[in-house]
Amino acid sequence: MTGGGLFVFIPACFALNMAFGPNNLLSLTVGLQDGVRTAVTASTGRLVAFAIMIALTAFGVGAVLAASELAFTVLKWLGAAYLVWLGVKILRGGASIEAPLESGRRRPLKALALQEFWTAIGNPKAILIFTAFLPQFIEPGAYWLSFAIIGAIFLALEVVAVLLYAVLGSHLNRLSRNGDVFAWLNRLSGTTMIGFGVALLLTRRPA
């Protein structure tokens, strides 16, 4: 990829990385409840899911999935159901007034990473984004190298986005010394996650 292509790709890509969605909400929530380091480590689940999607796009499978009404619908329903379930779980977890960071209780890292993975892999809009966005910056004469470069840049910028959202969550934790405030933030996170699930359910595949 030429320098001019990178000059366009990097800011456009980072805007996608920073867009507020289910995975970034997870980073903010985990940063709030368990700290920045845990949130960043847990995001490996998301990175694995995105790496799989980028590979599928490179091999052309992403375009097939994006064009399939049945595959899009099935993935959409599964993803929406998972987001709603996750939102309910966050709401129920918010019943505890004391923040995990303050009480010393930390959730299993493997479970958090799996939450990140299933949230990412179950979102058909991600496949559409990769299929529509990444190929615009591919050089036909260096197809695989171009995909490797832009894929690596996307994942690196995703880590930066995770870090920023996790730091924001950590700052919110410091501001929420009052147990009622922490519980309110948990309820807001859970409700927003459910909202993402409902919004995903209403999503239509572009013609």
List, for residues 32-50, the tens digit of each pLDDT value: 888 999 999 999 999 999 9
Residue 11 lies in a domain: no
Residue 98 has pLDDT above 50, yes or no: no
Residue 54 lies in a domain: yes
Which residues lie closer than 8 Å to 59 by C-beta, 6 or more apart? none
Residue 113 has pLDDT above 90, yes or no: yes
DSSP 98: S
Residue 62 has pLDDT above 60, yes or no: yes
The predicted structure's pLDDT at residue 72: 80
The pLDDT mean for the chain works out to: 84
Residue 12 lies in a domain: no
If one compares 195 and 105, the residue with the highest pLDDT of the two is: 195
Helix, strand or coil for residue 84? helix
Which residues lie closer than 8 Å to 57 by C-beta, 6 or more apart? 63, 127, 130, 131, 134, 135, 147
The single residue listed with the structure tokens 């995105």 is 50
- CA separation for the pair 69, 203 (Å, rounded): 12
Q: Do the Cβ atoms of 115 and 193 come closer than 8 Å? A: no
Residue 172 lies in a domain: yes
Residue 75 lies in a domain: yes
Residue 10 lies in a domain: no
* Domain extent for 104: 22-201
Residue 29 has pLDDT above 70, yes or no: yes
Residue 2 lies in a domain: no
Number of domains in the chain: 1
Residue 87 lies in a domain: yes
In this predicted structure, which of 25-34, 91-100, 137-146 has the lowest mean pLDDT?
Answer: 91-100
